[in-house]
Amino acid sequence: MTVLVWTGVALLGGLGAVCRFLVDRTVSARAPGGFPYGTLAVNVSGALLLGFLGGLALPANVALVVGTGFVGSYTTFSTWMLETQRLGEERQIRSAVANLVVSVVLGLAAAGLGVFLGGRL
């Protein structure tokens, strides 16, 4: 890998993390209750974007820089799991199960839609 690829991953990774923070905070501030809507919005939109990039069939280095750098730092599996675990600890079992199911279903649908849209370009 070249220095340019490493630099691109680092820069886009930072941008992805900032975007995740902004989207999560914006959605969470407007959402009711303790359900992690911000993380859901981040992960579903990230799945859509990664699917779209996959559908574009980008060159390997470009896909690595954008997919790993930006989308990898934008989306967050660990926060999703921690928030689900927290909901379980708080005995909000329906919310915990909904967080798992809705995230997987919407994430897969968004990724599929992204692949479809990207493949059309």
- Please give the annotated binding residues, written as ranges: 72, 75
- DSSP E strands in 47-121: the ranges are none
Binding-site positions for Na(+) read 72, 75
All residues at 6 or more sequence positions from 26 whose CB lies less than 8 Å from its CB, including other chains: 38
Please say whether the beta carbons of 13 and 30 come within 8 A.
Answer: no
Question: Nearest-5° angle of CA 43, CA 55, CA 79?
Answer: 15
List the one residue out of 73, 27, 31, 18 whose CA is nearest residue 49.
Answer: 73
